[in-house]
């Protein structure tokens, strides 16, 4: 099922979704990468974004989290401007390997600490360390809190990155190819974890290159083509044909 119908304007939405994107556009030079993207993700929903290389998936997430500045459009979290309220995990994980697992998770709280606190652990208040420990317990790694992060496997490090995102207390978690570098068992574990976060009311948007994982773990799958939504539907409705068309039609966009 293809949907080309635009989503309603923000003013007409009775209860704001966790994440609302309207008319999001991004150009790099004369290249249009996002072309009026509309997307909602509800609290407690996991939405997977599929699309060929270059279709604009990562750019869309970066615009939400503030790593790119949109050329046009509106992004809101719970009906308000974004302001650091979306957390992001990446394929490349982006932890500090020499620091302890707990230090890395505490870093998620840095955005809300005063200038007197710093990356140094002794300056991190006890309540933040306790919260970071709870986030680590949530991802099943409390027993590794004092290990050097670089000693953990890729799948474990991705779970630490998710714990750091939880420590940010963001209602929206964006995951850009979170399992692309992982073996199948670790990928399954990370997707199961992301899925479980929706039970806590977190809205999750994940860019994936694995349609099977998307089908098994998502509430909704969105296909992106040339920076616009090509289709959106439940995993049951997103057929192999539809996915095949998504990748075939966009071939060469990257």
Ligand X SMILES: Nc1ncnc2c1ncn2[C@@H]1O[C@H](COP(=O)(O)OP(=O)(O)OP(=O)(O)O)[C@@H](O)[C@H]1O
Note whether 229 binds ligand X by CB under 6 A: no
Q: Name the minimum Å distance from CB 57 to ligand X.
A: 4
By CB under 6 A, tell whether 211 contacts ligand X: no
Stretch 79-118 residues interacting with ligand X (CB under 6 A): none
Instruction: Report the residue number, 152 or 208, with the smaller CB distance to ligand X.
Output: 208
Q: Does residue 153 interact with ligand X by CB under 6 A?
A: no
Shortest approach of ligand X to residue 187 CB, angstroms? 16
- Binding string, 13-52, against ligand X, x = CB under 6 A? ---------------x----x-----------------x-
Nearer to ligand X, 17 or 56 (CB): 56
Residue 144 near ligand X by CB under 6 A: no
**Closest CB to ligand X among 67 and 137?**
67
> Which whole-number Å values give the CA distances from 236 to 1, 104, 220, 221, 244, in the listed order?
11, 38, 9, 10, 15
> Do residues 233 and 221 touch, judged by C-beta distance below 8 A?
yes
Any contact of residue 205 with ligand X (CB under 6 A)? no
Residue 55 beta carbon to ligand X: minimum distance, rounded to whole angstroms? 4
Q: Which of residues 45-74 bind ligand X (CB under 6 A)?
A: 51, 53-59
CB of 242 to ligand X, least distance (A): 17
Residues in contact with ligand X by the rule CB under 6 A: 28, 33, 51, 53-59, 254
């Amino acid at each position: 099922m293809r949907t080309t119908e635009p989503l309603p304007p923000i003013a007409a939405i009775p209860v704001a979704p966790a994440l609302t994107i309207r008319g999001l556009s991004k150009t790099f030079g004369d290249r249009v990468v996002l072309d009026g993207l509309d997307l909602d993700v509800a609290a407690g929903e996991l939405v997977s974004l599929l699309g060929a290389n270059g279709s604009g998936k990562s750019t869309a997430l970066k615009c939400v989290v503030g790593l790119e500045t949109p050329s046009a459009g509106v992004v809101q979290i719970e009906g308000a401007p974004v302001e650091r309220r979306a957390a992001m995990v990446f394929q490349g994980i982006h932890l500090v390997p020499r620091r302890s697992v707990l230090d890395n998770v505490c870093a998620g709280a840095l955005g809300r600490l005063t200038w007197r606190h710093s990356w140094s652990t002794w300056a991190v208040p006890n309540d933040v360390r306790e919260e970071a420990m709870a986030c680590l317990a949530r991802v099943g790694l409390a027993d590794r809190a004092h290990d050097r992060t670089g000693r953990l496997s890729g799948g474990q490090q991705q779970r630490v990155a998710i714990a750091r995102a939880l420590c940010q207390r963001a209602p929206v978690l964006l995951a850009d190819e979170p399992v692309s570098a992982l073996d199948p068992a670790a990928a399954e574990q990370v997707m199961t974890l992301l899925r479980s976060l929706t039970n806590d009311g977190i809205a999750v948007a994940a860019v994936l290159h694995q349609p099977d994982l998307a089908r098994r773990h998502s509430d909704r799958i969105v296909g992106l083509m040339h920076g616009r939504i090509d289709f959106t539907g439940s995993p049951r409705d997103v057929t192999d044909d539809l996915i095949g068309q998504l990748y075939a039609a966009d071939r060469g966009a990257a």
